Amino acid sequence: MNRFFDPTEPILSPATLVQTITRKSPGDLALPGRAVITFSPGDLTHLVRLSESSPVRSWLPFRHLFLTPTEKTVLMRCEFGGPNIAAAVEELSAFGVSEFIVCGYCGSLGPAL
């Protein structure tokens, strides 16, 4: 049977990328099990203010993440587009996030829709 995916180790993994940019250890980059991701800067600002979340400084300057006071959820904003959200999910997953809540908006191509 032919394999669709190459089983060899990747040259660059999401974890290695984050660790290289932040210069932090996996323990310093550990995250809770849940992430709320939004695409709007205003939505992130509102969520951070409403939940009284604090910055996750270990992820700077790579990603701007915020941890809720209960330390069970991390908040972040992602750029638009499938590749951007896929990269963010891969990176957060590498450090403990397994549940993702994505908040976005949809539009229409025509006024009748």
- Cβ atoms of 36 and 73 closer than 8 Å: yes
Tell me how far apart the alpha carbons of residues 26 and 48 are, in angstroms, rounded to a whole number.
24
- Over the stretch 27-42, which tens digit does the pLDDT of each residue have? 999 999 999 999 999 9
Q: Model-level pTM?
A: 0.84
Q: Is 70 exceeded by the pLDDT of residue 3?
A: no
Q: Is 90 exceeded by the pLDDT of residue 67?
A: yes
Query: How many CB atoms are located within 10 Å of the residue 28 CB?
Result: 14
Span 76-82, average pLDDT: 91
